[in-house]
Structure 1
Amino acid sequence: MTSAPLLYVCVRPQQGAAAAEYESFRAATRFEPGMIAQHDLVREPLPHDVFDRFSGILVGGSPFNVADPESTKTDAQRRLEADLARIAEAALERRTAALFTCYGIGVVTRVLGGTVSRAYPEDTGPVTIELTPDAATDPVFGGLARRFAALTAHKEGSESLPPGATLLATNEGCPVQAYRAGDRLYATQFHPEPTAKAFTERMAVYRDDGYFAASDFDTIAARVHAASLTEPVRLLRAFAKTFAPV
């Protein structure tokens, strides 16, 4: 086994944004530097022994969209999505645990036989998340407040809860906000890891990528900084404590 119990998988082409996202995950889990390994899946295929080496895998967000026509995807994106599907399947088989965030929930939904579409986008910034009754007994979500603020920025979503999954969180704008499949595979539409500062820095990287009007940057950033973001990071700590205790 590696000395790092968790692996952060980068699926962002922008290396600066990926480095900041890794640090957000590390800080949120309260792990020391080096206790979360990292792998750049955009540039390197998934190692063959990854499921033997890590007890938990954290998949970050990406500007890619699962619902885009296959003909428009690059070879790198298609290979990346196939490797993400391998992670999801390994978690379903209990060979590791995995938490997919934002873009990654679309990959998991497809693995489970569900549909991802552009019908459920959410604006950049804070939204209200509501936990379902099933979340109360979940080892990762069970300690969270029933309603809390989280940060989103996405152009697609799951059309409905995929077969075999347990809905854990929802809201009006995007009803499938989080779910569990089996007992080791989790997916969230919202971003659980960034602080307000980290999120606005990420907004600056993607301000011309169609998530929001660039002229609205300051207004959205103010809303982000005004939000109370206590619960999403608690979710990450619970995942780490449950599946990668140190």
Structure 2
Amino acid sequence: MLPFLLLASRAEDAAADDEYAAYLRYGGLEERELRRIRLEAAPLPELDLSRYSGVIVGGSPFTSSDPEEGKSPVQHRVERELSGLLDQLVARDFPFLGACYGVGTLGRHQGAVIDRTFGEPLAAVEISLTGAGLQDPLLQGMPPAFTAFAGHKEACSTLPGHAVLLARSAACPVQMFRIRNNLYATQFHPELDAEGLVTRIDIYRHVGYFPPESAEELMADARKFTVTEPMNILRNFVARYAA
């Protein structure tokens, strides 16, 4: 099997490694089947897409809707590199799955409005599939509504006309969409279970995502939920596109 490619940008080793392990576990992949490139660490090398089954973009500390003057040189570089890669992926309708940061990157690339209107606090949310979502092969076997973990400052408030809305939540109108036939983005985290979220809360408690004193309460709230359905998206992505 040609490997999949995970493009990551979490600077903290513990968070980056836990994310990679989650994609391996829930994608049913071995390490040789999922190559990881950490974009925050070095420039994106030249890629031969014919050597990969698909591309996955993980979560990120970067926020696409940040003012340009407030972005670091690393964020500017990562955004340029992802935009250039998306030029190729969209033109080829190449398999792509972007989780959380995928909405900001793929959405912005395709002309969506990405802003701070529909941010969600770190929590379990109920995701509802649209009619198109119920018919989409990547959501095969999914119930019409399911629980997933989300937490984001920005979101897509308006999709371009050529995008297909696949899922929404009460507080966020665009939780998942598709471009062409094979490029997907989710606002929620399909790789994240309760213990994974607890790990991230612990790692990020002092970086400004939430008040540090609320970390223990957020961990306790996360453990109240058994989140299993979103991982089917990863399994379906691997099963559909493994080449």
Query: Fold conserved (TM > 0.5)?
Result: yes
Tell me how many residue pairs correspond in the alignment: 243
**1:21 is paired with a residue of what secondary structure?**
helix
**2:89 is paired with a residue of what secondary structure?**
helix
Q: Report if aligned partners of 1:130, 1:148 keep a CA contact under 8 Å in 2.
A: yes
Q: Which residue of 1 aligns with 2:108?
A: 110
Percent identical? 35
Q: Which residue of 2 aligns with 1:66?
A: 64
What amino acid is aligned across from residue 162 of structure 1 in structure 2? P
CA drift at 1:174: 1.0
Q: Report if aligned partners of 2:2, 2:53 keep a CA contact under 8 Å in 1.
A: no
Alignment of 1:1-246 (within 5 A): 4-94=2-92, 96-244=94-242
**1:26 is paired with a residue of what secondary structure?**
helix
CA drift at 1:137: 1.5
Distance 2:123 2:145 in 1: 16
Q: Deviations over 1:44-64 (max 9, x none)?
A: 222222412212111110111
What amino acid is aligned across from residue 8 of structure 1 in structure 2? L
Q: Report if aligned partners of 2:9, 2:59 keep a CA contact under 8 Å in 1.
A: yes
Q: Report if aligned partners of 1:88, 1:185 keep a CA contact under 8 Å in 2.
A: no
Distance 2:82 2:66 in 1: 16
Q: Report if aligned partners of 1:4, 1:37 keep a CA contact under 8 Å in 2.
A: no
Q: Report if aligned partners of 2:174, 2:187 keep a CA contact under 8 Å in 1.
A: yes
Change in 2 beyond 3 A, CA 1:150/1:41: same
Distance 1:96 1:50 in 2: 12
CA drift at 1:241: 0.6
Distance 1:102 1:49 in 2: 23
What amino acid is aligned across from residue 68 of structure 1 in structure 2? D
CA drift at 1:4: 4.7
Structure 2 gaps of 5+ residues are none
**1:238 is paired with a residue of what secondary structure?**
helix
Q: Is 104-113 or 3-12 further displaced after alignment?
A: 3-12
CA drift at 1:97: 1.0
CA drift at 1:229: 1.1
Give the aligned CA root-mean-square deviation in angstroms. 1.5
Change in 2 beyond 3 A, CA 1:138/1:95: closer
Distance 2:144 2:87 in 1: 29
Structure 1 gaps of 5+ residues are none
**1:140 is paired with a residue of what secondary structure?**
helix
Distance 2:108 2:138 in 1: 23
What amino acid is aligned across from residue 99 of structure 1 in structure 2? L
Q: Report if aligned partners of 1:112, 1:163 keep a CA contact under 8 Å in 2.
A: no
**2:164 is paired with a residue of what secondary structure?**
strand
Distance 1:192 1:57 in 2: 15
Q: TM-score with structure 2 length normalisation?
A: 0.94
